[in-house]
């Protein structure tokens, strides 16, 4: 198996705090990996490093990031070819990062910028085939009917699905999603995660998604990478994660984490949690509200 994402010995220091501490991480073709950890544990930082949006600590053997066998950064220096390599990686952001004054369709077409000649991309001259491809991508995320609207007129969940469509037309094999549902309501969160999981399944894309809510991670991702204070804390099958482990991982903030209550969960079994009331509940996430879900499981 070829490693699609290969991170070795990556560290990042922000003013004396180690945001990433000697991270090694490898993702293979067609994996869907959840990245979990408390706020400030380095989830977003790791994703931004993989995407080549942020350089790691400088120095000898200070870590390399390779995507698709191409070096994105090494020893704290982002490669000059990074703009070229980025076309193999799509990034989905917590704040969607759409251009709000442009139409939904144009936003999706921006995903093509890395693949069309520079002059054509700069002038916004996209071919009919490219536009149709963007429309079909929108159709896959259920947003085709909004194509001509301005992105700013959409709700958060809708914007995130447009962002996924943008990632789709990029035709990359790796999708990095940085807290894609952290600013969405529970129903939109579910829709966005369903869309991501479907794309992963249908297109065989490698997906790395950082999540705040552990229940979503367990439900959609067979593999979990847990970070704590910038260190790799766990890397393995999601079904082997124990409640005690998760509570330890999140410390005192574990109540906010929607840690599913049934013990020895397996990824399949957690799907049972998806019942109308359980879907409505995750937003609040206090233990007494999670109890009905536990009873059902």
Binding site for other proteins (CB under 8 A): 51, 53, 83-87, 89-91, 93, 95-102, 110-115, 118, 121-122, 124, 163, 166, 170
Nearer to other proteins, 53 or 225 (CB): 53
As measured in angstroms, the least distance from the Cβ of 179 to other proteins is 13
Instruction: Provide the minimum distance between the beta carbon of 229 and other proteins in the complex, in angstroms, as a whole number.
Output: 26
Of 120 and 233, which has the nearer Cβ to other proteins?
Answer: 120
CB of 125 or CB of 263, closer to other proteins: 125
Q: Please check whether residue 99 is in contact with residue 107, taking contact to mean a CB–CB distance below 8 angstroms.
A: yes
Instruction: State the nearest-atom distance from the C-beta of 67 to other proteins, in Å.
Output: 12
User: 97 or 254: whose CB is closer to other proteins?
Assistant: 97
Please choose, from the candidates 21, 15, 41, the residue with its C-alpha nearest in 3D space to the C-alpha of residue 253.
41
User: What phi and psi, each to the nearest 5 degrees, are found at residue 193?
Assistant: -65, -40
- Tell me the pairing of strands 32-36 and 206-210: parallel
Least distance to other proteins, CB of residue 106, Å: 8
Nearest distance, CB of residue 98 and other proteins, angstroms: 6
Q: What span, in angstroms and rounded, lies between the C-alpha atoms of 227 and 134? A: 36
Of the pair 27, 267, the CB lying nearest other proteins is at 27
Output 81 or 201, the one with its CB closest to other proteins: 81
Is the CB of 169 or the CB of 265 nearer to other proteins? 169
CB 207 within 8 A of CB 175: yes
Q: Which long-range contacts (CB under 8 A, 24 or more apart) does 230-236 make?
A: 230/11, 230/12, 230/17, 230/18, 230/19, 230/20, 230/21, 230/23, 230/41, 230/42, 230/45, 231/21, 231/22, 231/23, 232/23, 232/24, 232/25, 233/37, 235/25
Contacts of 175 (CB under 8 A, 6+ apart): 89, 90, 91, 92, 167, 196, 199, 200, 205, 206, 207, 208, 209
CB of 147 to other proteins, least distance (A): 17
260 contacts 214 by C-beta, under 8 angstroms: yes
CB count within 10 Å of CB 114 equals 19
- Report in angstroms how near the CB of residue 189 gets to other proteins at its nearest: 19
CA angle 24, 27, 241 (to 5 degrees): 80
Of 100 and 287, CB closest to other proteins: 100
Greatest C-alpha distance within the chain:
60
């Amino acid at each position: 198996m070829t490693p699609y994402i290969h991170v070795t010995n990556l560290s990042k220091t922000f003013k004396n705090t180690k945001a990433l501490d000697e991270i090694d991480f490898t993702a293979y073709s067609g994996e869907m990996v959840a990245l979990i950890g408390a706020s400030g544990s380095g989830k977003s930082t790791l994703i931004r490093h993989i995407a080549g949006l942020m350089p790691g600590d400088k120095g000898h053997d200070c870590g390399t990031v390779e995507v698709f066998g191409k070096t994105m950064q090494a020893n704290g220096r982002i490669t000059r070819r990074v703009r070229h390599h980025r076309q193999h990686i799509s990034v989905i952001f917590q704040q969607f990062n759409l251009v709000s004054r442009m139409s939904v369709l144009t936003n999706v077409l921006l995903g093509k910028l890395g693949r069309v000649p520079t002059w054509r991309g700069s002038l916004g001259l996209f071919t009919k085939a490219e536009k149709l491809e963007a429309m079909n991508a929108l159709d896959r995320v259920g947003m085709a009917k909004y194509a001509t609207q301005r992105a700013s007129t959409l709700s958060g969940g809708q914007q995130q699905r447009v962002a996924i469509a943008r990632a789709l037309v990029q035709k990359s094999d790796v999708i990095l999603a940085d807290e894609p549902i952290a600013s969405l309501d529970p129903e939109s969160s579910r829709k966005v995660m369903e869309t991501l999981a479907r794309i992963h399944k249908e297109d065989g894309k490698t997906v790395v998604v950082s999540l705040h809510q552990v229940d979503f991670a367990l439900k959609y991702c067979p593999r979990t990478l847990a970070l704590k204070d910038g260190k790799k804390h766990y890397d393995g099958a999601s079904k082997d994660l124990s409640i005690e482990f998760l509570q330890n991982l999140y410390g005192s903030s574990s109540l906010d984490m929607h840690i599913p209550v049934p013990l020895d969960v397996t990824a399949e079994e957690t799907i049972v949690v998806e019942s109308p009331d359980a879907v409505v509940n995750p937003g609040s996430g206090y233990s007494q509200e999670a109890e009905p879900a536990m009873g059902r499981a």
